[in-house]
């Protein structure tokens, strides 16, 4: 609810002020042996603040039995509220003290705002101890406020009150929660007004009212356990925790009251500080009253639902002797507001009160909850979208900052950022882990913008990758050339390696092993899990210049390769003549790869190139001889090189691929930086035609020597790229330059226009 209550308001039309007041009048004809009796207690409702027909769920309590007086505030609502209370004092001495005439509820008081004035009684000849104060006009009464050099019970502008009365402030008690839950009700919750104190409800014409009692104070409640009654006499220690009472509870002005059982509970424990004391102590919110210089006392923290403040006033006592009739009256005025309407409470406060309210309502963070959790795992190339809920008081901002901290498990001597694509968005919390991330984990720190001291740490584990490939030891190899026929050697390059090998034969997986002896020859699926930053080569020539039995026994790669630190995949599967299957995401974990020179050279059993084989390798520059000698490949995917815009070298990329019959249109369209197309299709004897616009986008190319040498299957006309009129300078590659197309079509003797080919082109 967005509500606020104040004492008095000059704009009653839109937002009337809520003032809950209690007048405690003490009248004495003469002091006899230090005893006295209370003559009356009355409540006057001055104004009311309403928004959307609702008001704050606060209730001012006063418990009075003729000797004891407890003042505190209860929150019976569902929202936290803030409260301030001031207490007005009036005292007169002389004959007829305390006598008043008729009460006129519509007469305007001296402040020009408040209504309700008592008439003058001709028998009252008493004199107010404060000049100008009138017994029947509370707007002329004095606000109880601290006085420097006296004590907290002094009264600003009216120190004479201190000569007669001593206040006891602070403390706590057991109370009965209010049955009046009508947010439009202006009445205090009053207990203890009965004839035992010598008072009857008819003492004054302005009675204390209670909506459940037809205008008569309700002090007798049913005890549900026994069917008996409990008389709330207003004493300090009458109730005990757990005592129950039953009565009619009122929630609004329309619906009839309902019977409820309430259980006695304890107020908070409170003390009373001056504004100066509160400031000196650090201006911290807390469970205490802070009394400002203007007399408003603020409960220095939000009052939670179903809770009550500590006592503002616990008791008052006559401090001196009087030999005349006297009358002393107090009128507390309470003002409430919810957080959303705190400005209305603030604008009626002095500078000290405004500072206090600002401190109370300042957003504070108590905890952060991060989703999906404080420990997550992610694959290289994966993402995690973090979100955070900020908990605290006064609706703190949900804004947080995310920061990727020092990685854990990074390789020895490795930089903090293994992959520049590993990063986190500071605002949205989106964590991206690069495909080439070699660290095993990170910490992410989430920090509240409102309170940077409130932070949460997240552990991010980068999942261990594994790769799977198939070795067939049944394939016969020559021991003299390839080594022991029953032994498989994994060719692990030097690097920061930490891996486990499952050899696929039921034996216990081994750590960082590269050699395994098989008892029987069979088809084995080998799984390598972990980190092989040096990389695994399947061609010994790339390591020691020799061949290895694994080259011939490798028949399939089932999963992507592990990450490796090297940017080169040169000769990786060279001479693996029985390798027949590779996945489309074979290189997805190595997006930074730059060279695939002879990577599949002589893989003669390979029959198909996956469409997206190099889709993730956007930084590659060299495809020299990549598929040279792959005589089983029959088709080239049309978009095979679409993402490889940095490539400069296509030398012999498909040389001797004797089964390829067709070149897809646009094969090199996106490779505008390519300069070297030497022998690109040399020896492709099954090729039947060459697209005339094959190199139309490759204007940077300067070498096409032997590009289609010995393509004896071409029966159609060769592209007449030598015709500079048809292919002008600047529009097509520089075919016309000397040395650019040396013997481009050498051996293409079956072409229909062979006779037209210039000598230097054949």
| Tens of pLDDT, residues 373-411 | 889 998 877 899 999 999 987 778 899 999 987 665 444
What is the chain's Cα-based Rg?
47
Q: Taking Cα atoms as reference points, which of 240, 267, 299 lies closest to residue 86?
A: 299
Q: Taking Cα atoms as reference points, which of 237, 178, 244, 263 lies closest to residue 212?
A: 178
Q: Given the structure tokens 């996956």, which residue do they identify?
A: 610
Burial class of residue 198 (count of CB atoms within 10 Å of its CB; 0-12, 13-18, 19+):
exposed
Which pLDDT does position 282 carry in this prediction? 92
Q: What is the pLDDT of residues 527-559, one digit of tens each?
A: 888 777 667 777 655 444 444 556 778 899 999
Q: Is the peptide bond before 217 cis (omega within 30 degrees of 0)?
A: no
Strands (E), 43-191: 58-64, 69-75, 81-93, 103-108, 115-118, 127-128, 142-143, 165-169, 174-175, 189-191
How far is it, in rounded angstroms, from Cα 651 to Cα 655? 9
List Cβ neighbours of 32 (8 Å cut-off, separation of 6 or more).
Answer: none
Q: Taking Cα atoms as reference points, which of 624, 628, 626, 622 lies closest to residue 673?
A: 622
Coil, helix or strand for 675? coil
- Average pLDDT in the chain: 79
Q: How far apart are the first and last CA of the chain?
A: 91
The β-bridge relationship of strands 189-191 and 58-64 is: parallel
How far is it, in rounded angstroms, from Cα 337 to Cα 357? 11
Neighbours of 425 (CB within 10 A): 13
Q: How confident is the model at residue 496 (pLDDT cuts 50, 70, 90)?
A: low
Q: What is the pLDDT of residues 11-25, one digit of tens each?
A: 122 222 233 334 444
Instruction: Name the DSSP letter for residue 547.
Output: -
Mean pLDDT on 62-70: 75
List Cβ neighbours of 195 (8 Å cut-off, separation of 6 or more).
Answer: none
Strand-pair partners of 261: 246
Burial class of residue 2 (count of CB atoms within 10 Å of its CB; 0-12, 13-18, 19+):
middle
Q: Taking Cα atoms as reference points, which of 153, 453, 177, 452 lies closest to residue 319?
A: 153
Mean pLDDT on 678-694: 96
- Asked if 330 contacts 41 with a C-beta cutoff of 8 angstroms, the reply is no
Q: What is the pLDDT of residues 214-254, one digit of tens each?
A: 333 445 677 776 667 777 777 788 888 988 888 888 888 78
Which pLDDT does position 67 carry in this prediction? 66
Strand-pair partners of 423: 432
Which pLDDT does position 157 carry in this prediction? 41
Which pLDDT does position 549 carry in this prediction? 53
CA angle in degrees (0–180, nearest 5) for 295-296-301: 140
Q: How confident is the model at residue 319 (pLDDT cuts 50, 70, 90)?
A: confident
670 pLDDT higher than 90: yes
How far is it, in rounded angstroms, from Cα 24 to Cα 330? 5
Percent of the chain with pLDDT over 90: 37
Enter the pTM of the model. Answer: 0.53
Which pLDDT does position 485 carry in this prediction? 53
Q: Tell how far CA 404 is from the center of its chain.
A: 16
Q: What is the pLDDT of residues 703-726, one digit of tens each?
A: 999 999 999 999 999 999 988 888
121 pLDDT higher than 50: yes
Q: How confident is the model at residue 479 (pLDDT cuts 50, 70, 90)?
A: very low
Q: Tell how far CA 236 is from the center of its chain.
A: 47
H or E segment to which residue 162 belongs: helix 160-164
Instruction: Name the DSSP letter for residue 336.
Output: E
H helices of 568-634, in order, are: none
Mean pLDDT on 566-592: 90
How far is it, in rounded angstroms, from Cα 364 to Cα 396? 6
Which pLDDT does position 668 carry in this prediction? 97
- Asked if 245 contacts 230 with a C-beta cutoff of 8 angstroms, the reply is yes
């Amino acid at each position: 609810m967005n509500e606020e209550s104040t004492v008095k308001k000059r704009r009653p039309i839109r937002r009337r002020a809520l003032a809950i007041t209690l007048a405690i009048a003490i009248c004495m004809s003469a002091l006899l042996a230090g005893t006295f009796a209370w003559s009356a207690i009355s409540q006057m409702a001055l104004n009311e603040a309403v928004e959307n027909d609702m008001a704050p769920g606060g209730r001012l309590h006063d418990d009075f039995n003729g000797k004891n007086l407890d003042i505190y505030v209860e929150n019976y609502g569902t929202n936290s509220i803030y409260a301030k209370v001031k207490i007005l004092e009036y005292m007169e001495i002389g004959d007829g003290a305390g006598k008043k005439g008729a009460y006129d509820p519509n007469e305007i008081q001296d402040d020009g705002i408040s209504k309700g004035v008592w008439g003058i009684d001709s028998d009252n000849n008493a004199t107010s101890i404060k000049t100008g104060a009138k017994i029947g006009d509370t707007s002329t009464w004095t606000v109880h406020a601290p006085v420097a050099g006296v004590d907290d019970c002094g009264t600003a502008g009216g120190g004479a009150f201190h000569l007669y009365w001593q206040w006891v402030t602070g403390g706590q008690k057991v109370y009965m929660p209010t049955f009046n839950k009508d947010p439009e009700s202006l009445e205090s919750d009053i207990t203890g007004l009965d004839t035992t104190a010598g008072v009857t409800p008819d003492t004054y014409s302005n009675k204390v009212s209670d909506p459940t009692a037809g205008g008569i104070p309700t002090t007798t409640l049913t005890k549900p356990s026994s069917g008996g009654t409990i008389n709330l006499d207003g004493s300090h220690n009458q109730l005990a925790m757990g005592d129950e009472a039953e009565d009619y509870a009122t929630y609004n002005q329309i619906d009839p009251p309902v019977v409820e059982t309430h259980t006695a509970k304890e107020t908070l424990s409170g003390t009373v500080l001056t504004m100066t004391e509160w400031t000196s102590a650090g201006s911290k919110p807390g469970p205490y009253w802070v009394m400002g210089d203007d007399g408003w006392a603020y409960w220095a923290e939000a009052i939670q639902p179903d809770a009550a403040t500590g006592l503002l006033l616990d008791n008052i006592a006559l401090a001196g002797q009087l030999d005349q009739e006297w009358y002393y009256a107090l009128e507390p005025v309470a003002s409430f507001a919810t957080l959303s309407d705190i400005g209305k409470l603030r604008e009626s406060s002095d500078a000290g009160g405004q500072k206090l309210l600002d401190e109370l309502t300042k957003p504070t963070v108590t905890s952060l909850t991060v989703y999906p959790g404080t420990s997550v795992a992610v694959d290289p190339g994966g993402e995690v979208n973090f979100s955070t809920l900020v908990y605290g008081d006064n609706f703190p901002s949900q804004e947080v900052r995310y920061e990727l901290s020092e990685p854990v498990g990074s390789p020895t001597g490795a930089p903090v950022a293994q992959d520049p694509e590993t990063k986190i968005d500071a605002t949205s919390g989106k964590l991206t882990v690069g495909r080439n991330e070699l660290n095993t984990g990170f910490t992410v720190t989430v920090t509240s913008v409102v309170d940077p001291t409130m932070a949460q740490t997240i552990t991010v584990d980068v999942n261990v990758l594994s790769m799977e490939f198939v070795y067939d030891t049944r394939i016969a190899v020559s021991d003299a050339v390839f080594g022991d026929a029953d032994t498989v050697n994994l060719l692990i390059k030097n690097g920061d390696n930490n891996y486990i090998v499952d050899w696929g034969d039921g034996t216990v997986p081994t750590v960082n092993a590269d050699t395994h002896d098989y008892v029987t020859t069979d088809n084995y699926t080998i799984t390598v899990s972990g980190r092989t930053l040096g990389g695994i080569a399947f061609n010994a020539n790339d390591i020691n210049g020799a061949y290895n039995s694994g080259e011939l026994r490798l028949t399939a790669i089932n999963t992507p390769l592990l990450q490796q630190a090297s940017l080169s995949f040169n000769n990786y599967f060279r001479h693996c003549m029985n390798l027949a299957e590779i996945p489309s995401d074979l290189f997805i974990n190595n997006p930074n790869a730059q060279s695939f020179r002879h990577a599949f050279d002589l893989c003669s059993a390979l029959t198909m190139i996956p469409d997206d084989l190099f889709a993730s390798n956007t930084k590659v520059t060299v495809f020299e001889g990549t598929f040279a000698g792959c005589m089983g490949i029959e088709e080239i995917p049309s978009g095979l090189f679409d993402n490889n815009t940095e490539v400069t070298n296509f030398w012999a990329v498909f040389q001797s691929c004797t089964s390829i019959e067709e070149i897809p249109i646009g094969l090199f369209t996106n490779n505008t930086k390519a300069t070297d197309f030497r022998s690109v299709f040399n020896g492709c004897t099954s090729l039947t035609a060459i697209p005339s616009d094959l190199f139309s986008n490759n204007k940077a190319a300067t070498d096409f020597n032997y590009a289609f040498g010995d393509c004896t299957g071409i029966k159609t006309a060769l592209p007449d790229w030598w015709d500079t009129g048809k292919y002008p300078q600047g529009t097509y590659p520089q075919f016309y330059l000397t040395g650019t197309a040396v013997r481009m079509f050498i051996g293409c003797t079956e072409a229909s226009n062979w006779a037209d080919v210039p000598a230097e082109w054949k």
